């Protein structure tokens, strides 16, 4: 791989992003669905590659046809296939950089019901997925037990997490799992927007939402990385550009995560996996959840040193947003349609089950686990539960654009006690090696205990009428 080939791959990817943005702005259907430009660009890259244009050219002119490999050189697609594993660490490293991190008590007061409801939904996705594997997917279709984790990885984690775990899927012998997770992530985004919009309209018609408060948002006013808080940028811009400094903090967060990961692997190698003859678990953990913890550590140190606002949160969002956009385009453009097609029934069963569980979480659990404003609160978790965090934000703003209920703050604080574990956190990364090493049944038992625990706790502690 030469530098010229890497540069060509970057240029082609940038052009795809521009075309995706054009489609997002000028095609009304895409705007109404709130589909991110990166998803459109990645889908276009997939269609113009060997599995789209290439497949069509092969049918018409045989394997030697001029466009049998698609419009992109193989070297570009090779570069793209390696980007998600790297960029996901950048995305997760920036989750908490530049944010004021309050104490656990302050977080819990604002986000306790949101955390309990969200945790119950997340662990339930594992319970449903693993249960389906034991009852149907394994006996009937013969898929890997790791398919039981696909709902949480694809729906709750989203495209970034699915792509970031591709290497883990491959190492553990379920290479098609990454493509299935990416497909589920795409289904989750579309279903989250369509069903979420329908739920907002239902809530307005039934009087559960004020029609003056709930309204449709103009597509262009919604940004996945929009933040309302004003954070001053670095004061000294003469000696070095502020963007360079922020990239340095990203690098520090990723480096800390890498050191923690290597330390964990070393501990494993000298304890229960001496000489590679024991249980190899930690070596399969990807870097990105540790990079997130590294970002938290960097921010905590800055706060302790009195520099809590040394980083510009808006600039952090720009870096993370660019990394996420490139990650999504490269992951979707190299998605294997053959992998999804060969497991189509597994894919459809998991997608349907995941969506139904999300609806149960909204209609059945949310009214009983939120002491007030259960519709916007439940919509936020519903959106995140099937379409990742950005859809949760979108639905919260559609239901309560003026933030009268305080859903946005509760949803933001929730991530501090949520994402380090599930939704792309440590357990999301550990779920695959755990299932591979111990089997589906022990993991199912553990997830069931956690799901029931969060359900019982939320139903008792936050039932309507108990707490304000």
Per-residue pLDDT tens over the stretch 2-31: 889 899 999 999 999 999 999 988 988 887
Give whichever of 193-197, 288-292, 341-345 has the largest mean pLDDT: 341-345
Q: Tell me the mean pLDDT in the region 368-376.
A: 91
Do residues 425 and 130 make contact, with C-beta atoms less than 8 angstroms apart? no
99 Rama class: left (phi>0) / alpha (psi -120 to 50) / beta: beta
Over 80: is that where the pLDDT of 64 sits?
no
**What is the per-residue pLDDT for 468?**
45
**Torsion, CA 222, CA 399, CA 120, CA 33, rounded to 10:** -50
| CA 332 to mean position of chain CA atoms | 14
How much is the pLDDT for 229? 41
Q: Which of 402, 378, 399, 387 is nearest to 462 (CA)?
A: 378
Question: What does pTM read for this prediction?
Answer: 0.77
Q: SS in 3 state form for the chain?
A: CCHHHHHHHHHHHHHHHHHHHHHHHHCHHHHHCCCCHHHHHHHHHHHCCCCCHHHHHHHHHCCCCCCCCCCCCHHHHHHHHHHHHHHHHHHHHCCCCCCCCCCHHHHHHHHHHHHHHHHHHHHHHHHHHHHHHHHHHHHHHCCCHHHHHHHHHHHHHHHHHHHHCHHHHHHCCCCHHHHHHHHHHHHHHHHHHHHHHHHHHHHHHCCCCCCCCCCCCCHHHCCCCCCCCCCCCCCCCCCCCHHHHHHHHHHHHHHHHHHHHHHHHHHHHHCCCHHHCCCCCHHHCCCHHHHHHHHHHHHHHHHHCCCCCCCCHHHHHHHHHHHHHHHHHHHHHCCCHHHHHHCHHHHHHHHHHHHHHHHHHHHHHHHHHCCCCHHHHHHHHHHHHHHHHHHHHHHHHHHCCCCCCCHHHHHHHHHHHHCCCCCCCHHHHHHHHHHHHHCHHHHHHHHHHHHHHHHHHHHHHCCCCCCC
Least confident of 129-138, 215-224, 284-293, 340-349: 215-224
What is the C-alpha to C-alpha distance for residues 101 and 112, in angstroms, rounded to an integer? Answer: 16
Tell me the pLDDT band of 334, cut-offs 50, 70 and 90: confident
Q: Is 103 left (phi over 0), alpha (psi -120 to 50) or beta?
A: beta
Helix 313-333 and helix 37-47: axis angle, to 10°?
A: 20
Q: Is 47 exposed, middle or buried (0-12, 13-18, 19+ CB in 10 A)?
A: middle
Is residue 369 within 8 Å of residue 113, measured between CB atoms?
A: yes
CA–CA dist 148, 137 (Å, integer): 9
- 73: tokens are 């050189």
In the predicted model, is pLDDT for residue 103 greater than 80? no
What band does 236 get if pLDDT is binned at 50, 70 and 90? low
What is the chain's mean pLDDT, rounded? 84
Amino acid 238: pLDDT: 59
| Ramachandran angles phi, psi of 342, nearest 5° | -75, -20
CA torsion, ordered 408, 411, 414, 418, to nearest 10 deg: -150
Check residue 62 and give its pLDDT.
62
Q: Which of 138, 133, 129, 234 is nearest to 184 (CA)?
A: 129
**Of 404 and 430, more confident:** 430
Is the pLDDT at 228 greater than 60? The verdict is no
- When pLDDT is cut at 50, 70 and 90, the band that residue 61 belongs to is low
Total residues found in the chain within this entry: 468
Asked if residue 123 lies in contact with residue 454, where contact means CB atoms within 8 angstroms, the answer is yes
Percent of the chain with pLDDT over 70: 89
More confidently predicted of 69 and 260: 260
Whether the predicted pLDDT of 219 surpasses 50: no
Q: 222 pLDDT band (50/70/90 cuts)?
A: very low
Looking at residue 224, what is its pLDDT? Answer: 40
Question: Distance between CA 450 and CA 444 in Å, rounded?
Answer: 10
Cβ atoms within 10 Å, residue 336: 17
Higher pLDDT, 46 or 128: 128
pLDDT score, position 456? 95
User: What whole-number percentage of the chain has pLDDT above 90?
Assistant: 37
């Amino acid at each position: 791989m030469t530098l010229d080939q890497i540069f060509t791959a970057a240029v082609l990817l940038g052009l795809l992003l521009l075309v995706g943005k054009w489609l997002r702005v000028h095609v009304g259907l895409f705007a109404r669905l709130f589909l991110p430009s990166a998803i459109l660009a990645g889908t276009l890259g997939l269609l113009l590659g060997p599995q789209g244009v290439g497949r069509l050219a092969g049918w018409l002119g045989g394997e030697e046809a001029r466009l049998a490999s698609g419009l992109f050189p193989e070297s570009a697609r090779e570069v793209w296939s390696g980007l998600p594993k790297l960029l996901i660490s950048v995305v997760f490293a920036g989750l908490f950089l530049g944010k004021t991190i309050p104490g656990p008590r302050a977080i819990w007061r604002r986000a306790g019901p949101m955390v309990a409801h969200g945790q119950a939904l997340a662990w339930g996705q594992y319970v449903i997925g693993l249960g389906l594997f034991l009852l149907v997917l394994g006996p009937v279709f013969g898929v890997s037990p790791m398919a039981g984790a696909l709902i949480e990885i694809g729906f709750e984690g989203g495209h970034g997490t699915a792509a970031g775990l591709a290497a883990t899927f491959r190492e553990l012998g379920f290479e098609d799992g990454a493509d299935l997770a990416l497909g589920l992530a795409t289904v989750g985004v579309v279903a989250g927007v369509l069903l979420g919009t329908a739920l907002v309209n239902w809530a307005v018609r039934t009087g559960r939402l004020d029609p003056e408060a709930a309204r449709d948002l103009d597509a262009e006013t919604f940004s996945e990385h929009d933040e309302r808080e004003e954070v001053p940028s670095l004061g000294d811009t003469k000696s070095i550009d502020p963007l360079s400094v922020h990239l340095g903090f990203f690098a520090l967060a990723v480096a800390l995560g890498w050191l923690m990961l290597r330390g964990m692997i070393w501990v494993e190698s000298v304890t229960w996996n001496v000489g590679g003859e024991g249980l190899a678990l930690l070596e399969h953990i990807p870097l990105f959840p540790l990079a997130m913890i590294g970002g938290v550590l960097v921010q905590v140190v800055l706060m302790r040193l009195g520099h809590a606002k040394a980083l510009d949160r808006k600039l952090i969002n720009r870096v993370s947003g660019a990394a996420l956009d490139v990650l999504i385009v490269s992951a979707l453009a190299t998605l294997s349609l053959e992998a999804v097609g060969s497991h189509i029934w597994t894919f459809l069963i998991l997608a349907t089950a995941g969506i139904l569980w999300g609806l149960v979480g909204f209609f059945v659990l949310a009214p009983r686990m939120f002491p007030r404003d259960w519709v916007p609160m439940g919509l936020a978790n519903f959106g995140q539960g099937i379409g990742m965090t950005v859809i949760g934000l979108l639905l919260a703003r559609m239901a309560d654009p003026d933030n009268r209920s305080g859903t946005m703050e509760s949803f933001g604080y929730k991530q501090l006690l949520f994402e380090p574990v599930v939704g792309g956190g440590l357990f999301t990364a550990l779920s695959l090696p755990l299932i591979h090493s111990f089997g589906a049944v022990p993991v199912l038992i553990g997830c069931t205990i956690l799901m029931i625990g969060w359900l019982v706790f939320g139903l008792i502690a936050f039932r309507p009428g108990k707490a304000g």
